Chains A and B, each alone.
Chain A
Amino acid sequence: MTCSSPTGWRKKKLSETLPRPEILREISGEEEFGIVEKELTVFERLYNLGWVRKTALLIVLAVVWETYARYLDNQLLVPTLTDTFQAWLGGMRSGVLPARILASLQVLAIGFTTGVVLAGIVTVLAITTRIGTDFLETMTAMLNPLPAIALLPLALIWFGLGLGSLVFVLVHSVLWAVALNTHAGFRSVSNTLRMVGRNYGLSGLGLVFKILIPAAFPSILSGLKIGWAFAWRTLIAAELVFGVSSGKGGLGWYIFESKNELDIPEVFAGLLTIIMIGLLVENVIFRTIENRTVRRWGMQT
């Protein structure tokens, strides 16, 4: 199959028009890989599952905790894992903990949603107008490094002790992180994809919703994850600082209250709950969204 001259090549070309099987072989190659995968052992396959590895790590950490707490034998410093779980179960049964969780999650949902919606508006302004871009860049540069908690004293003066202040600091913690990521995502959408969209006659908001948002979805999703983590931390911290809001305290308040009563296992139970909710959101909700979107689309490995 040497192609020394164009003429020689063309003769070959006309006499045998079938270099096609080579391409088909490429495709069957993938199937062969599929068979290779089946030959992995059960352990290897389990080890390939992220959640199995992470659960194993958690179990190791739990054992270390329990051992150390028993060795220390001081419930005021470090209660054992079993005590913590008992306190947690007690809290759940008595209905105190679920009420606290619900209160926290409600505030979080309001603050997070408001922040995301505002971020969406700011970002759309930023990609459609130049002054919008300047606004977003300036504001994120100024406000992103500012811890939301630092605004709490001000928020208390402006909005008083209650939902308003919490939502204000939550919005601040979510807005800039999400807007920054979304904007970066929009800018990284390839020019080819934009041209494809315009080729179908799309423009303006149609282009934003049908092309830019899905194309920038990996960045948007990571922005949402960062925003969620910021919001969750900020919320708990804010609740710890000014405790109860309109008679319904959240998880931060639960910890604060338990500490005042020197009920340290309950403090740990509160912390555990915060961690568990964090893990749940990260590993169940966001992971599911990732698997159904960016991973399936091959935009993230």
Chain B
Amino acid sequence: MLDKTEPPPLLDVRGVTLRYKTRDHLVTATYRVDFSVRQSDRFILLGPSGCGKSTLLKSVGGYMAPTEGEIMLKGMRITRPGPDRMMVFQEFDQLLPWKTVRQNVVFALETSGKQRGRAADEKAMQYIEKVHLTRFADAYPHTLSGGMKQRVAIARGMAMEPDILLMDEPFAALDALTRRRMQDELLGLWEETRFTVLFVTHSIPEAVKIGNRILLMTPHPGQVKAELNSLDASAHPTEVAILEQRIHDMLFADRVEEEEIV
């Protein structure tokens, strides 16, 4: 994490402008955004709603082509969605309701052609165990709580062993207690496997807790305000508070806002 050498970026976002049309408007979601993510980064896109961070993530996912600039993954231009960039969405309905927990993970592995049959099943169970859902492997998603569903989605994303895991406010719809627990678990999983994750959030404490690198974005249109290093888990609470306050001032200096305490 404190590696001083310069590895080549895994994901390179260069001058990306994103525009989309609504019924009567042409909306510029982001304007000339640059950043690069290295291997094993926990890279956070942080900003208030309307700063285009989710749109940016969808674009990295390949769901939306930039109108300007380019997004490169391992030196290859991203043109469409693919299993090398697994998405974890905020919505609980991202699991296929007609498949059990295990089948959901296996289906992802088999459909994308990563693994088949017994190998897929073993891999799926291995990652389901990592998120502590072995007991619920044969349960259907509708019988699970929101937090468990998100854990399945994370297990599914990780089992695919993508180059980068894209998480779009995955804990935003969870209650505060579950959310804290999920943050801890995500960090635990990262310690184990050192995956690369691009994580969108609008919560400053979440960004500081989860990320090692934080991209601050301002809204209308989304532009990069700053790119900061976060603190590691051993940081003193005062340092954390100072960093959170600093980010807060940079983002919301001119507005009264009601950031929830998480």
Contacts and interface: CB of A to CB of B under 8 A. Distances in A.
Contacts, number: 94
Given A7-B238, A192-B89, A199 B97 contact: no
B89 A299 contact: no
Contact of B108 (A9, A10, A200, A206): A200
Contact of A293 (B98, B177, B178): B98
A210 B96 CA distance: 10
B142 interface: yes
A275 to B, nearest CB: 33
A10 B204 CA distance: 14
A19 interface: yes
B241 interface: yes
- Interface size on A, as a range, is 35 or more
Given A192-B89, A199-B61, A214 B98 contact: yes
B180 interface: yes
B241 A6 contact: yes
Contact of A199 (B86, B141, B180): B86
Interface string A139-181: 0000000000000000000000000000000000000000000
A297 B113 contact: no
A124 to B, nearest CB: 19
Interface in A1-53: 3, 5-7, 9-11, 13-14, 17, 19-20, 22-23, 26-27
Given A192-B89, A201-B83, A297 B94 contact: no
A196 interface: yes
A199 B238 contact: no
B111 interface: yes
A190 B140 contact: no
Contacts of A184: none
A93 interface: no
A192 B97 CA distance: 12
Contacts of B180: 13, 19
Contacts of B107: 200
Contacts of A297: 97-98, 140, 142
Contacts of A190: 91, 93
B7 interface: no
B140 A296 contact: yes
A210 B98 contact: no
Contacts of A248: none
B237 interface: yes
A11 B237 contact: yes
A298 B141 contact: yes
B225 interface: no
Interface string A189-204: 0101101101111100
B143 interface: yes
Contacts of A193: 93-94, 96
- Most A CB contacts (10 A, CB to CB) among B111, B141, B147, B184 go to B111
B181 A20 contact: yes
Nearest to B87: A199
B49 to A, nearest CB: 18
Contacts of A199: 61, 81-83, 85-87
Contacts of B145: 23, 26-27
Nearest to A1: B177
20 contacts: A9-B261, A10-B241, A19-B180, A22-B177, A26-B145, A27-B145, A190-B91, A193-B96, A196-B89, A196-B96, A199-B85, A199-B86, A200-B112, A201-B82, A201-B112, A202-B111, A210-B111, A214-B96, A215-B97, A298-B143
Given A23-B181, A297-B98, 13 more contacts: A10-B240, A19-B177, A22-B177, A23-B145, A27-B145, A190-B93, A198-B63, A199-B81, A201-B82, A202-B111, A206-B111, A217-B98, A297-B142
